[in-house]
Homo-oligomer: A and B are copies of this chain.
Amino acid sequence: MSVEAAQADRLVRGVGERSVPALARAISLVENGRDGYEEILSALHPSVGNAHRIGITGPPGSGKSTLIERVVRIYRDRDITVAVVAVDPTSPFTGGALLGDRIRMESLTLDPGVYIRSMASRGATGGLATTTREVCDVLDAFGFERVIIETVGVGQSELAIAGSADTTALVLVPESGDGVQVLKAGVMEIADLYVINKSDRPGADRLVQEVEVMLGIRRGNAYRHVGPHHGGLAGRTARREPDDGAGTAGWAPPVLKTAAAKGEGTEAAIDAVDRHRAFLESTGLLQERRRARLAQHTREVVNRALSTLVWERWDGEAVLAAGLDDVVSGRLSPYRLARNIVADLQEERGHGG
């Protein structure tokens, strides 16, 4: 057994035995794409799939981190273990904020039922979304009951990350007209619930109304009532129409008000997350979403493997270097050079295989 394989084996056992150092080491290997990281993930795969993954996204300054901190504390009061993966570079979890915030966050990590990890957003082997999903897999396999993924809801890849969770919450604040702009640009569609944070500030009710209008929950001041449907959904009074076809039929995303810094509304937000989870389970959508996520993940792993093959194992870089002068001078296009590289690779394989 190679050194890497022996180490991978040890780490997999360590994660299975809930060793925190093994967990930290396994995540680092995965995050940095070190030798053997796919073997580790492969060995952990049968243990993955129990955590409820919650994506929390929103513009910078919307108070996501404070909200998450509160949510974590409430989960802990309920004796539920939680991991937080911070992909937001402006998050206090990743070091992007005031020292006071950061210290408050870090105090959480003294609790063994909490694990906080920030993703280095550069240098991920196969794209940030793929690597983040793999880090969540490790945390899931370790046994965390909730995995919260914090991203900043403006960028493409960050949205994709939040959108691949089981339940996605979009956090907005009254003063951010920007947030509403982002909404209009289609960010909305990914969210299963909307949280208007800092709702003790002026404009909160107006924002709630704007969001509800955008969701089609209300038009002007006219509510449309529909009955409760699916177990656990009693009491909700409206549904989005027309259905967006994205597998959310029957779920009307609630718009909630919180003031996380004061602890207001956070319990209700957690209840909504739990209701969404119950909804996904009772309708079979949870299984469906996970299936789609696994298919997508497999595609990304294949693409990454092919890329590694051509650029690291075979001589793609050498062929590229040999042709680059001609590309720069305009004699050769990047497309012809690319075709040569792919052809060489196939040729090589044809002989080798």
| Residues of A participating in the B interface, judged by any CB pair closer than 8 Å | 38-39, 41-43, 45-49, 59-61, 89-90, 94, 96-97, 121-122, 128, 152, 154-159, 177-178, 181-182, 184-187, 287, 290-291, 294-295, 297-299, 301-303, 305-307, 309-311, 316, 320, 323-324, 327-328, 330-331, 333-339, 341-342, 346-347, 349-350, 353
In Å, the complex CA distance between A152 and B94 comes to 20
CB of B184 within 8 A of CB of A96, answer yes
> What are some 30 contacts across the A-B interface (CB < 8 A)?
A41-B333, A42-B333, A43-B333, A45-B330, A46-B330, A47-B330, A48-B330, A59-B154, A60-B182, A89-B182, A90-B154, A90-B178, A96-B184, A121-B156, A122-B186, A155-B157, A155-B158, A157-B157, A290-B328, A294-B324, A294-B327, A298-B320, A299-B320, A302-B310, A305-B342, A306-B306, A306-B310, A349-B349, A349-B350, A349-B353
Q: Judging by beta carbons under 8 Å apart, are A338 and B302 in contact?
A: yes
Q: List residues of chain B with CB within 8 A of the CB of A316.
A: 299, 302
Q: A59-B60, A90-B185, A186-B89 are in contact. Are A45 and B306 (CB under 8 A)?
A: no
Q: Which residues of B contact A335 (CB under 8 A)?
A: 38-39, 41-42, 45, 301
- Do residues A61 and B330 form an inter-chain contact, with CB atoms below 8 A? no
Contact A185 B306 (CB under 8 A): no
User: Which single member of B185, B305, B307, B309 contacts A89 (CB below 8 Å)?
Assistant: B185
Chain B residue contacts of A334, Cβ below 8 A: 41-42, 45, 294, 297-298, 301
Residues from chain B with a CB closer than 8 A to the CB of A328 are 287, 290-291, 294
Contact of A338 among B60, B290, B298, B336 (CB under 8 A): B298
* A310 partner residues in chain B, CB cutoff 8 A: 302-303, 306
Q: How far is the CA of A220 from the CA of B163 in the complex (A)?
A: 43
- Smallest Cβ distance from A176 to chain B, in angstroms? 8
Nearest neighbor of A343 in chain B, beta-carbon distance: B353
Residue of B nearest to A291 (CB): B328
Report A97 CB to chain B, min CB distance, Å. Answer: 6
* Distance, CA A69 to CA B338, complexed state (A): 37
Neighbouring B residues of A48 by C-beta, 8 Å: 330
